[in-house]
Amino acid sequence: MTTFDDEVRDRLAANGRDEALRRSADAFMLASTAPKYSYNFSWLGRPIIQYPQDMVAMQQLIWTVQPDLIVETGIAHGGSLIFSASMLELNAACGGPADARVLGVDIDIRAHNRAAIEAHPMMRRITMIQGSSVAPAIAAQVRAAAAGCRRVLVCLDSNHTHEHVLAELETYAPLVTPGSYCVVFDTIVERLPGGMYPDRSWGPGNSPMSAVDAWLPAHPEFEIDTEMDHRLLISVAPRGYLKRVA
């Protein structure tokens, strides 16, 4: 008997073979990036700067993994921290880890953003650290926070250069527990035209995706969740949902 989950898997496999569908999705990503489509959304009152598809994907991962710690590099306005904290709150209400937390790291937490995050009801599940995510002292604080956690999920969304993301992968991917994920955001940069970010140092060949491609061969304990790519189609993180399988 075919189940709903079987039907979903069949549809996702079909999506992966549908080149016309994928071209349409790629065209939307290209057309929507310059007008800053991702800046149009908020979560519980804080700008989140994400595509809705990736927000739904993260909800599914958080429910499936049931992490007791989510580590996020890059805070900006705090919407993603609030999102993760609210998902952990829902998990707890449904019998998940009661004291699960989200830890955010950013090299520059603006005072007005910090104040807004600290005033939010979800702050009770949030810890923030200011400093470079790849600085040894900052990494040590994060490792200390992860010590003893049963399930850890990591999201990398700070500086998008190849060198920085590669250093973040080396630093934080080892914290991810088997069955959980390291999500590398903005891998889409690799597929966008060069010069689209003239005020930024990243671009094709110097991007989160190029860092993933350089890092993965030496780390067989992780694999790209291609099913997630086929599920989303529209995403800032193509080939960036890395599942720890061992």
Rg (C-alpha) for the chain, rounded Å, is 17
Averaged confidence pLDDT in the chain: 97
- Count of domains for the chain: 1
Q: Say what the pLDDT of residue 169 is.
A: 98
Domain range spanning residue 62? 4-244
pLDDT single digits (tens) 170-206 = 999 999 999 999 999 999 999 999 888 788 889 999 9
Does this model's pTM top 0.85? yes
* pLDDT tens figures, 128-186: 999 999 999 999 999 999 999 999 999 999 999 999 999 999 999 999 999 999 999 99
CATH of the domain at 217: 3.40.50.150
Average pLDDT over residues 122-133: 98
Dist. CA 57–CA 85, nearest whole Å: 15
Instruction: Look at the block and give the residue holding tokens 């005020």.
Output: 199
